[in-house]
Amino acid sequence: MRPKATLNEIVSVSRFLVGSALALICLAIPAHGDTVYSNLGSGSTVYNSTDWDVSGPTSLEELTTIDVAMGFTPSGNFDLSEIDLALNFNGVPSETNAITVTLNADSSNAPGAILETWNLTGLPSFFGTCCTLQVLTPTSTVALNSGTQYWIEASPGASDFNGGWNWNSTGASGPFWSNISGTSEETVGALDVLGSSVGPTVVPEPSTFVLLGLGMLGLAGIRRKLLVP
C-alpha cells in the first residue's frame, strides 16, 4: 500500500500555492493614479487671470509666432495618464481658435523630441469665467522617468491664433521656455500631470507561472495519494 499524504502536508502545500497565486494577482493589477506634478489652486482660484502669450504670425494682436513651454521633473517612475492645462483664446471672432500642445523630452534645458501631440480647438475665452481646464490623455503608453526633466509646449494651431497659457495661482515657479527668450526660471503656467506609479516589477516572468503550475500538479498528486488505497 502506498503511503498517504498527511493532512499537514496538504495544508502546507495549499497555503504555499494560494500565497503564490495572490502574489501574481497583485503584480498583475494596474498601479493606481498619482499626481506627478501640480501647481493648480482650488475653488475659483484654480489659475491666475494673467497669462503667457501664445500666438501665430498673422494674429492681429502679436504679429509674430510665440511658443511657450513649462518644464517639470517627476520624483518617481510613472506611465502618463492625464495632463490638465489652463489655456485660453484671446483673438477676435474671425481668428482661428486652435492650439497645439506637445509633451517633449528635454534637450539641453529646452524642449526636445516630441513624445505626444494634442491638437485642441474651442478654447475658453480669456475674458470668460474661471475655471475650465483642457484635459489631455495619451494615445499610447508614455513613460515618465524619475529625475528626468520633461516639457509641455503650447504653440499656435493656426497662423492667426492668439491666446495664452494662464499663470498658476499658487506662486509656483520653474523652468520656462519660449522661442523668443529661451529658458529661464519664471512663474509657470497652470497645469497638473497625472500618472500611474511604475514599480521595479510589473509583470511576472513566464517562469513564475511555470513554477505555479508545477506546484498545482504536485498538489493534485498528493490528493491522489490520499484517495487511492
Dump pLDDT digits (tens) for 199-227: 754 445 555 455 555 555 555 554 555 44
Extents of the domains making up the chain: 7-28+202-227, 33-197
Residue 13, pLDDT score: 45
Report, as an integer, the average pLDDT of 56-75. Answer: 93
Q: pTM here? A: 0.74
Residue 178: CB partners within 8 Å, gap ≥ 6?
52, 66, 67, 68, 69
CATH 2.60.120 for domain 33-197: yes
DSSP result, 148-168: --EEEEEEESSTT-EEEEEEE
Is residue 162 predicted with pLDDT exceeding 80? yes
Adjacency order of strands within the sheet including 173-178: 111-121, 98-106, 150-156, 68-72, 173-178, 182-187
Residue 188 DSSP one-character state: P
Is residue 2 predicted with pLDDT exceeding 50? no
Report, as an integer, the average pLDDT of 33-60. Answer: 91
Report, as an integer, the average pLDDT of 12-28. Answer: 46
pLDDT tier at 25 (50, 70, 90 boundaries)?
Answer: very low
Residue 57: CB partners within 8 Å, gap ≥ 6?
63, 64, 65, 159
The answer to whether 176 touches 53, Cβ cutoff 8 Å, is: no
| Lookup: cell for 22 | 495572490
What does pLDDT average to over the chain?
82
Residue 63, pLDDT score: 82
Report, as an integer, the average pLDDT of 15-38. Answer: 57
Is residue 14 predicted with pLDDT exceeding 60? no
Residue 118 DSSP one-character state: E
The answer to whether 192 touches 48, Cβ cutoff 8 Å, is: no
pLDDT tier at 92 (50, 70, 90 boundaries)?
Answer: confident
Residue 62, pLDDT score: 79
Report the alpha-carbon distance of residue 121 to residue 2 in Å, rounded: 77
Q: Where are the alpha helices (DSSP H) in the chain?
A: 7-28, 206-227
Match 497625472 to its residue by C-alpha cell.
Answer: 194
Residue 133 DSSP one-character state: -
Residue 186 — φ and ψ, nearest 5°? -140, 175
Is residue 140 predicted with pLDDT exceeding 90? yes
